[in-house]
């Protein structure tokens, strides 16, 4: 979906296909037929943007076989679909019964990550519509935080510098300008947008920036205005934004609330959970400027065990809940954070990013009574999320294009 910003530029809205995980090119082609085209038809549109997730094997097949890439481009055109952004965070196995920590490997200290992302860039250059010259790829925020030392940090920095150089060369060859955004996520080396500034200013290349995921932003209790102002002040580009909402529990001490949260603790994905407490004198002595202290666990089940987290303030969990359907009371979502962030991203005189992607990949991880029971129900849900996002954009003064 395309929108005209008041400044005349075009803002793209897509939905991410990692909700239909496929490891092979044949699986990707089936996604287009079984899911993406039906969503487009449900919305009554001639054209729909999708943010493709391409696993290692699918990306390899496309980058090594020009005819396969041409075939995918033709299939997108035939089904009324277009691609300006890729989700390059998961490497493979995103449809496995247990993903958890596996999604963070390989990281940016491992050569496989650079080679995979380079492949994705080459593929995206071949998939961009004829009237679009800019593409984006989101990627993991360097690495999971454990076992990440100075030596691994230097390997990651060097890999991203090499990637930027390859993207420069790719533009010279194809005329397509591609950028990659680190996606801050709780528990990672780059957990918050604040954490992204130092490593990205060290790289200091306009092709490497940030992907702002509004679920992750909310889970870490970041204020959208403060976060985005800091990125702008540091000249860190917002390459894309993923529109998503986290699970919010206002009163985690309540047995009723904890029982409701327990229904979202599931074995497939990691649901990092966070809360805050006021700053202490020791924080002030360390020149910490954050308005609060952040406390967290790696998963929701861990947070619900014993006293792993303080429970006197709200909890938020990294569980992407459908944008249009907040959980029933006593839980809710952080849609308000998404709305505030979107206003700052595209509601000003010029957009901070022109690539937006709805990313609710957890439909089948929802509590059983909330999961779509048929393909048509999933189609309806994704279409409803995109409709909500469209309405938010038009409320900000953007004009939907055919």
Rounded Cα distance between 370 and 93, Å, is: 24
Q: Indicate the Cα dihedral angle 69, 72, 74, 77, nearest 10°.
A: -130
E strand residue ranges, 23-80: 48-53
Rounded Cα distance between 202 and 281, Å, is: 31
pLDDT at residue number 307: 87
pLDDT at residue number 284: 55
pLDDT at residue number 157: 98
Contact predicate 387/43, CB 8 Å: yes
Q: Which helix (H) or strand (E) holds 83?
A: strand 81-87
Q: Indicate the Cα dihedral angle 146, 152, 156, 157, nearest 10°.
A: 120
Q: Look up the CATH number of domain 2-251+319-400.
A: 3.20.20.150
Structure-token match 């954490």, residue found? 195
DSSP string, 183-211: ---TTBSS-SHHHHHHHHHHH--TTEEEE
Rounded Cα distance between 142 and 182, Å, is: 7
Q: Where do the domains of the chain lie?
A: 2-251+319-400
pLDDT at residue number 280: 72
pLDDT at residue number 91: 98
Q: How do the pLDDT tens digits run along the chain, 402 residues long?
A: 999 999 999 999 999 999 998 999 999 999 999 999 999 999 999 999 999 999 999 999 999 999 999 999 999 999 999 999 999 999 999 999 999 999 999 999 999 999 999 999 999 999 999 999 999 999 999 999 999 999 999 999 999 999 999 999 999 999 999 999 999 999 999 999 999 999 999 999 999 999 999 999 999 999 999 999 999 999 999 999 999 999 999 999 999 999 999 999 999 999 999 999 997 766 555 555 567 899 999 999 999 998 899 999 999 999 999 999 999 999 999 999 999 999 999 999 999 999 999 999 999 999 999 999 999 999 999 999 999 999 999 999 999 999
* Packing angle of the helix pair 56-64, 111-127 (nearest 10 deg): 60
Rounded Cα distance between 87 and 108, Å, is: 15
Q: What is the pTM of this model?
A: 0.96
H helices present in 128-254, as ranges: 150-174, 193-203, 214-219, 224-233
Contact predicate 275/311, CB 8 Å: yes
């Amino acid at each position: 979906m395309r929108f005209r910003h008041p400044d005349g530029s075009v803002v793209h809205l897509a939905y991410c296909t990692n909700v239909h995980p496929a490891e092979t090119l044949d699986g990707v082609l089936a996604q287009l037929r079984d899911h993406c085209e039906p969503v487009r038809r449900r919305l009554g549109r001639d054209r729909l943007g999708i943010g493709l997730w391409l696993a290692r094997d699918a990306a390899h097949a496309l980058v090594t076989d020009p005819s396969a890439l041409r075939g995918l481009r033709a299939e997108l055109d035939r089904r009324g679909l277009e691609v300006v952004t890729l989700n390059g965070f998961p490497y493979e196995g995103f449809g496995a019964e247990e993903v958890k920590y596996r999604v963070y490997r390989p990281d940016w200290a491992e050569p496989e990550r650079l080679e995979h992302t380079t492949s994705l860039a080459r593929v995206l250059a071949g998939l961009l519509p004829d009237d679009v010259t800019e593409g984006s790829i989101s990627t993991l925020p360097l690495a999971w935080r454990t076992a990440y030392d100075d030596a691994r940090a230097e390997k990651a920095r060097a890999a991203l510098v090499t990637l930027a150089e390859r993207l420069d060369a790719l533009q010279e060859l194809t005329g397509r300008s591609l950028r990659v955004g680190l996606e801050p996520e709780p528990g990672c080396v780059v957990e918050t947008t604040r954490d992204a500034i130092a490593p990205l200013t060290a790289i200091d290349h306009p092709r490497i920036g940030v992907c702002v995921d509004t679920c992750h932003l909310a889970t870490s209790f970041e204020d959208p205005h403060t976060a985005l102002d800091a990125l702008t002040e540091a000249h860190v580009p917002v390459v894309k934004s993923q529109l998503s909402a986290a699970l919010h529990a206002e009163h985690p001490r309540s047995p009723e609330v904890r029982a409701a949260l327990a229904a979202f603790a599931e074995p497939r994905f990691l649901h990092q959970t966070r809360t805050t407490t006021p700053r202490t004198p020791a924080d002030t002595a360390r020149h910490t400027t954050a308005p609060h202290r952040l406390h967290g666990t790696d998963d929701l089940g861990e947070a619900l065990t014993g006293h792993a987290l303080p429970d006197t303030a709200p909890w938020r969990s990294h569980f992407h809940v459908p944008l249009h359907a907040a959980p029933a009371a006593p839980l809710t979502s952080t849609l308000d954070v998404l709305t505030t962030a979107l206003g700052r991203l595209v509601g000003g005189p010029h957009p901070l990013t022109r690539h937006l992607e709805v990313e609710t990949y957890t439909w089948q991880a929802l509590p059983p009574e909330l999961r779509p029971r048929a393909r048509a129900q999933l189609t309806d849900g994704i279409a409803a999320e995109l409709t909500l996002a469209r309405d938010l954009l038009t409320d900000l003064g953007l004009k939907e294009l055919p």
